[in-house]
Amino acid sequence: MTIQKAQQSRRENVDFDNLVFGKEMSDHMFAMDFRDGVWGDSHILPYGEVGMALSLSALHYGQSVFEGMKAFWGADGKVRVFRPRDHYKRLMRSCERMCIPQFDYDHFISAIRTLMELDRTWIPKERGKSLYIRPVVFAIDYSLGLKPSLSYRFAILTSPMGYYYPEGMKPVKLMTSGEYVRAVRGGVGDVKTAGNYAASMLPFKEAHEQGFSQILWLNAHDNATIEEAGVMNVFFVINSVLITPALSGSILPGITRDSVLALAREKGMIVEERAITIQEVFDAGHIGKLQEAFGTGTAAVIAPIGLIHHDGNEMNINNNKIGPMTEMFYYDMTAIQYGEKEDYLGWCEIV
Ligand code: COI
pLDDT digits (tens, 9 = 90+) for 245-292: 999 999 999 999 999 999 999 999 999 999 999 999 999 999 999 999
The predicted-structure confidence for 206-218, as pLDDT tens digits, reads as follows 999 999 999 999 9
Determine the distance separating the centroid of ligand 1 and the alpha carbon of 298, expressed in angstroms.
6
Q: Which helix (H) or strand (E) holds 245?
A: strand 241-245
pLDDT higher than threshold 90 for residue 341: yes
Q: Whose CA is closest to 246, among 261, 264, 227? A: 227
The whole-angstrom distance between residue 103's C-alpha and the CA centroid of its chain comes to 21
Quick one: pLDDT band at residue 92, thresholds 50, 70, 90? very high
- Mean residue pLDDT of the chain comes to 97
Whole-angstrom Cα distance, residue 307 to residue 175?
8
Q: Are 177 and 215 in contact (CB under 8 A)?
A: yes
CA of 289 to the centre of ligand 1 (A): 31
Residue 220 has pLDDT above 90, yes or no: yes
Residue nearest to atom 5 of ligand 1 (CA): 68
pLDDT band at 63 (very low <50, low <70, confident <90, very high): very high
The answer, yes or no, to whether residue 128 has pLDDT greater than 90, is yes
pLDDT at 168: 82
Mean of pLDDT values over 74-92: 97
- The yes-or-no verdict on residue 42 having pLDDT over 90 is yes
Residue 169: is its pLDDT beyond 90?
Answer: no
- Residue 297 Cβ < 6 Å to ligand 1: yes
To 10 degrees, the CA torsion angle through 262, 266, 268, 272? 10
Q: CA torsion, points 7, 10, 11, 12, in degrees to nearest 10?
A: 110
Which of 23, 191, 298 has most ligand 1 atoms within 8 Å of its beta carbon, as the pocket-test mutant?
298
Determine the Cα–Cα distance for residues 250 and 271; give it in Å rounded to an integer. Answer: 21
> What is the pLDDT, as a whole number, of residue 49?
95
Check residue 226 and give its pLDDT: 98
Q: Is the pLDDT of residue 316 over 90?
A: yes
Q: Where are the alpha helices (DSSP H) in the chain?
A: 57-61, 84-97, 105-118, 194-199, 201-209, 255-266, 278-286, 324-337
Q: Is the pLDDT of residue 165 over 90?
A: no
CA of 93 relative to ligand 1 center, distance in Å = 17
Strand partners, 79: 73
Per-residue pLDDT, 177: 96
- When pLDDT is cut at 50, 70 and 90, the band that residue 126 belongs to is very high
What's the gap in Å between 117 CA and the centre of ligand 1? 23
Range 13-31 average pLDDT: 97
141's CB contacts (< 8 A; 6+ apart) are 56, 57, 149, 150, 151
Residue nearest to atom 6 of ligand 1 (CA): 231
CB contact at 8 A, 73 and 123? yes
Q: What spacing in Å lies between the alpha carbon of 37 and ligand 1's midpoint?
A: 30
CA distance 174 to 63: 30
- Using only C-alpha atoms, the chain has a radius of gyration, in whole angstroms, of 21
- In this prediction, what percent of the chain has a pLDDT beyond 90? 98
Query: What was the pLDDT predicted at 349?
Result: 98
Q: What is the mean pLDDT of the segment spanning 38-59?
A: 97
191 CB within 6 A, ligand 1 = no
Catalogue all structural domains in the chain, each as residue range(s) with its CATH number.
2-162 (3.30.470.10), 172-337 (3.20.10.10)
Residue 230 — very low, low, confident or very high, per pLDDT cuts 50/70/90?
Answer: confident
Give the C-alpha separation, 64 to 99, whole Å: 10
Torsion of CA 233, 288, 179, 21, to 10 degrees: -40
For residue 331, pLDDT over 90 is answered with yes
| Mean pLDDT, range 309-325, rounded to an integer | 97
pLDDT band at 336 (very low <50, low <70, confident <90, very high): very high
Q: Is 231 near ligand 1, meaning CB less than 6 Å away? A: yes
